[in-house]
Amino acid sequence: MTLDWKHYDSGGFFDELISSPGNARAPARRLASCLASLNDAEIESRRRMAEATIRQMGVTFTVYSEEGNIDRAWPFDIIPRTIAARQWRDVEAGLKQRLRALNRFIDDIYHDRRIIAAGIFPAEVLAQSKNLRPECQGVSPPFGVWANICGTDLVRDERGRFFVLEDNLRVPSGVAYMLENRAITKRVLPELFENEAILPVNDYPARLFDTLAALSPRKVRNPGIVVLTPGIYNSAYFEHAYLAQQMGVELVEGRDLVVDEDKVYMRTIAGLERVDVIYRRIDDLFLDPEVFQPDSVLGVPGLMRAWRAGQVAIANAPGAGVADDKVVYAYVPQMIEYYLGEKPLLPNVPTWLCSDPEQRAYVLAHLDELVVKPANESGGYGMLVGPHATKKERAEFAERIQADPRNYIAQPTLKLSVAPALVDGGRLEPRHLDLRPFVLQGEELYVTTGGLTRVAMRKGSLVVNSSQGGGSKDTWIVDTEAR
Amino acid sequence: MLSSVAERIYWAGRYLERTENTARLIRVYDSLLLDLPRGLNISWYNLIELNSAEDSFAERYRVQDERNVVKFLLSDEDNPISLQTSLKMVRENLRTTRDVFSPEVWELINELFYFGRDEVAQGQGRKLRYGFCEGIIRGCEQVNGQIAATTSRDAAWQFLELGRYIERADMTSRILDAGAVTLLESAELLGQVNLGQIVWGHVLGSLSAELAFRRRVRTRVSGPAVADFLLNDPHFPRTIRFCRERVADAIRILPRGKAVQAQLEVLAAVYYQVESIEDLGQPFRDYVNEVQIRIATLHRHIADTWFALG
């Protein structure tokens, strides 16, 4: 027995790998025939190899539970997801355009707020924003860029069109898993990399390093760059350590840093050493107990002073999260037109704002067909998937929306695309997935080749977050013209 | 290098060494007890005394037998010096310093950690115990080899060396003491069998030092010769002198090493020459005890100089 492509059924969704039963899309053709040539035992041995590799490489993520934090092996599906390089170039252009506009918006918000004066963005949205930081008003980070690292969540609909689902502008994670997924797949399916023009992904750490180095306030040959982590118990600690290692910079916790006369130093075995750029992976509110939460021990007292004085660069800049809000998201197409004078290349998912009475009425009347999300949550928490919810859950959610309408948006339940995943028994079944490319902006703009594909491993589920049973697979941008 | 990273690397070095030493001790005890005459009051419990773990052992176990001692030393996760705990600490410390060592080092550590955790039951019974200990020792050597082959000789390396050799010197001193006490306590049996040769032969064996000893000393195994060798030989990598000199090398290279230099000289100042069997009595034990105290003081100086945050 081999993998049975003819009887694999995508269930009416857009399938990333096949166009109709038994017919692979161009970038997936070699992959499909290679997989079809393997018998059950070989497939199983590849799957095991992936599992062993993950364990051996120590690729883990942390799950919080009542019994403490558990380090789980990274859930991984060995069958890659493929996208044609030509199509990817369009997506890439759209992502760059979007981040440029978002950064113009954040900079505008912390300066003159022209977009509000122009009547394009409503002041009320800002007034109730949880991520607006008045402490950042008037600060001008290098290149006018606040969000240097952005993780944009993309989904595809039943016709295969890409939509932007979310812009993650605070401390997006996942890029290390993207890199590790590739490392695992190279070990598991090496024969495909020999004959296939699969574009490499591994220049991300170098690009990230260049982006960070360009932010240094001191123009020195070797600026002091650090990755600031909340510590080993953070769910993304693996990634923090991974990126520090790949970039060859120090991984620090708050207690390793000290601010003296508005300059930041790290404590080393030789004494204090100057820090120029901080890639922070902790939230705004924990950055500096002098300014934000006074009882936080994760941050560094005086850090905000040093940043405001221009003595240290912080990426992403404090306050960048003001644009990471699902209500603000709804205005991104207008931002693109306003700031760049361009038409948006990547569409938003249609979004209803519950703050607007008319739209709210529509949402409440159609809860059974919509997905409702809180404006400021991440990780897939606190949302309602209407068609999958019970009547009671919907009623409870309606109350929450009415109590705090500004905090909720609704979107149609998308027919998210699927791709075949290897399930128990060595069979292929369709699973929903999304894609998180990472976009860098500093002196230059850069988009990862592909991104992190997250898969809802449970049958029929639309939730791809790893904290909630999601897995992932390698993402191949295949240059079909290079063959 | 960050102070906090230096501290973790130092501890990773210590715990890695401790893991290996624990496996070595158990392996050699297995063999020693088979060779000893009946009626001799030497038991597995000596390993608890050797590790100064009498109190924490008593908190958990009543019977001082082989089963409990081996369990305590191998698999007891509440015991801070068990092999399981040591391996876990190696992994935790290296996990937080993954940006210092090559990914291959981390992969080997993971393999070793899972081997130690999943196969530890093998170490309980006599039949598979030898193989388990071998597996652990080999795994530790693999990690050391991989580190040696892929780590820059910068500060990270020096702190690993500091941890390794301080732990090793401490263990060698404990093993010497255990040899001495065994013979002191069974003085009346001396002569019955060649007890001295058996015990000191195993002391060498626990440190994989038989071959080096023979080539260097060119005499039959005897208490004085072995003790003098393990204290003062400059070449074999597990003697007190060798460990002390590597610690000195590391301290010389590190910034601000001068602060620790004085304490190192204090350690070097005690010298004990073993010439005859009489030299292995109580004064020898006192000497070894003094060495241990000075090693502990040296550790404190290292911590104050490089790890203290503030």
pLDDT of residue A65: 54
Q: Where are the alpha helices (DSSP H) in A303-354?
A: 303-308, 326-329, 332-335
How many structural domains are present in chain B? 2
Q: Are residues B187 and B303 in the same domain?
A: yes
Partner residue facing B3 (CB), from A232, A249, A268: A268
Indicate the burial class of A6 (C-beta count within 10 angstroms; 0-12, 13-18, 19 or more). exposed
Residue B182: domain span? 154-310
The whole-angstrom distance between B98's CA and the closest CA on chain A is 6
Reported as half-sphere exposure (CB side, CA atoms, 13 A), residue B279 has a value of 15
CA end-to-end distance (rounded Å), chain B: 15
Q: Are residues A136 and A277 in the same domain?
A: yes
Give the DSSP per-residue string, A342-366: ---SSPBPP-EETTSHHHHHHHHHT
Q: Are residues B70 and B23 in the same domain?
A: yes
Q: Are residues B83 and B210 in the same domain?
A: no
Place of tokens 């391996």: B87
Find residue A441's DSSP bridge partners: A445
Say which amino acid occupies A15. Answer: D
Place of tokens 């390698």: A474
pLDDT of residue A1: 47
Among the three residues A290, A308, A340, which one is the final residue of a domain in this structure? Answer: A340
The whole-angstrom distance between A292's CA and the closest CA on chain B is 23
Q: Between the CA of residue A304 and those of A144, A216, A442, what are the distances in Å?
A: 18, 16, 20
- Separation CA B262–CA B251 (nearest Å): 11
Contacts of B98 in chain A (CB under 8 A): 241-242, 245
- Separation CA A117–CA A132 (nearest Å): 18
For residue A282, give the CATH number of its domain: 3.40.50.11290
The token pair that represents B242 in the structure block:
């060798």
Tens-binned pLDDT, residue by residue, of chain A (483 aa): 466 777 888 988 999 999 988 899 999 999 998 988 988 899 999 999 998 888 777 777 666 555 555 667 778 999 999 999 999 999 999 999 999 999 999 999 999 999 999 999 999 889 888 899 999 999 999 999 999 999 999 999 999 999 999 999 999 999 999 999 999 999 999 988 887 789 999 999 999 999 999 999 999 999 999 999 998 888 888 899 889 989 999 999 999 999 999 999 999 999 999 999 999 999 999 999 999 988 888 899 999 999 999 999 999 999 999 999 889 999 999 999 999 999 999 999 999 999 899 999 999 999 999 999 988 776 667 888 888 889 999 999 999 999 989 889 999 988 899 999 998 888 899 999 999 999 999 999 999 999 999 999 888 888 887 767 788 999 999 998 875
Q: Are residues B8 and B127 in the same domain?
A: yes
In a domain, A303, yes or no: yes
Find residue A264's DSSP bridge partners: A259, A275
Residue A363: domain span? 352-412
Report whether A160 contacts A417 (CB < 8 A): yes
The percent of chain A in helix, strand and coil, each rounded to the nearest 5, is: 35, 25, 40
In a domain, A322, yes or no: yes
Q: Are residues B138 and B181 in the same domain?
A: no
Task: Pick out chain B residues at pLDDT < 70.
Answer: 38-42, 185-193, 309-310
Neighbours of A409 (CB within 10 A): 26
Cα–chain center distance at A35: 29
- Separation CA B308–CA B251 (nearest Å): 16
Contact A267 B4 (CB under 8 A): yes
- Count each helix (H run) and each strand (E run) in chain B, helices first: 15, 0
In a domain, A226, yes or no: yes
- Separation CA A226–CA A394 (nearest Å): 45
- Segment (H or E) for B160: helix B155-185
In a domain, A472, yes or no: no
Contacts of residue B244, Cβ cutoff 8 Å, sequence gap at least 6: B165, B169, B264, B267, B268
Mode of pairing for the β-strands spanning A445-447 and A438-441: antiparallel
In a domain, A304, yes or no: yes
How many structural domains are present in chain A? 2
Q: Does A260 touch chain B (CB under 8 A)?
A: no
Chain B neighbours among A 376-435 (CB < 8 Å)? none
Mode of pairing for the β-strands spanning A277-280 and A313-315: parallel
For residue A401, give the CATH number of its domain: 3.30.1490.270
Q: Are residues B166 and B298 in the same domain?
A: yes
In the DSSP assignment, the letter for residue A128 is T
Q: Are residues B33 and B135 in the same domain?
A: yes
Q: Are residues B190 and B92 in the same domain?
A: no
Q: Are residues A268 and A381 in the same domain?
A: no
Q: Which among B269, B259, B237 has a CA at the least distance from the CA of B169?
A: B237
- Separation CA A265–CA A22 (nearest Å): 60
Contact A55 B110 (CB under 8 A): yes
In a domain, A433, yes or no: no
Q: Are residues A332 and A235 in the same domain?
A: yes
Report whether B2 contacts A250 (CB < 8 A): yes
Among the three residues B83, B115, B150, which one is the final residue of a domain in this structure? Answer: B150
